[in-house]
Amino acid sequence: MSDTRITPVQHRQPNTVAPFLVPLVVGGLVAVGLGVYGRVHAPTGYAIGLAGFSGALAMKAWLTTGAFLLALVQLFSALVMWGRIKLDVPWIGSLHRWSGRVAFILTIPVALHCLYALGTQFDVPRVMIHSLLGCFFYGVFTAKMLSLPRRGLPGWTLPVLGGLTFVALTGLWLTSSFWFFTTIGVKL
């Protein structure tokens, strides 16, 4: 007698980037759209500020610093969630989601001020890099958020998009907050 057990056929998702195209295209459109808007919009020069800060630059420096510190929490919690750091904390997913939400919210007044009052600028290298990183940050963040609910994506998708988001925010912090604190000083 032969063994006639029926084994289920394993269907593997092809390792393709096709499901990734929509988030990537939409993220690219967001980045380009912000850059174009920032370039063609005539900067008003008027500061958008929040109460409690001495000025718009101080507000931007502190909010970006808060977002950057939360991005460090994001990096740590992602390393735990992906098993790169061995910790058994059942709330790590919630920490990751909420630190990301708050970090993103902190960037909104900064981005609004940059786009509305200053626009995209290319005359000073630091400011040009900052402008390009700002557009890239929102584009890659959009691609990451749109990729979260999608099935069939390659396993590297979220770590790469999360890493690029972290790198962009780090670059934004270095070209704005770090510059502000080391050039103008630590002010509220």
3 or 105, which is more confident: 105
- The whole-number average pLDDT for the span 142-150 is 90
Rounded Cα gap, residues 15 and 64, in angstroms:
37
Residue pointed to by tokens 């289920």: 8
Rounded Cα gap, residues 37 and 182, in angstroms:
30
CA-based nearest residue to 100, from 135, 58, 62, 148: 148
Rounded Cα gap, residues 97 and 146, in angstroms:
14
CB 4 within 8 A of CB 124: no
Burial of 92 (0-12, 13-18, 19+ CB in 10 A): middle
Q: Which of 57-71, 141-155, 169-183 has the lowest mean pLDDT?
A: 141-155
DSSP SS3 for 186:
coil
DSSP SS3 for 38:
helix
CA-based nearest residue to 116, from 63, 168, 60, 69: 60
Lookup: tokens for 8: 């289920």
Rounded Cα gap, residues 60 and 38, in angstroms:
17
Lookup: tokens for 76: 């740590």
Asked if residue 12 has pLDDT above 50, the reply is no
Rounded Cα gap, residues 40 and 21, in angstroms:
28
DSSP SS3 for 81:
helix
CA-based nearest residue to 175, from 167, 186, 163: 167
171 or 46, which is more confident: 171
Instruction: Express each pLDDT in 152-183 by its tens digit.
Output: 788 888 899 999 999 999 999 999 999 999 99
DSSP SS3 for 94:
helix
Query: Would you state the pLDDT for residue 57?
Result: 84
HSE at residue 183, side-chain half, CA atoms within 13 A, is: 11
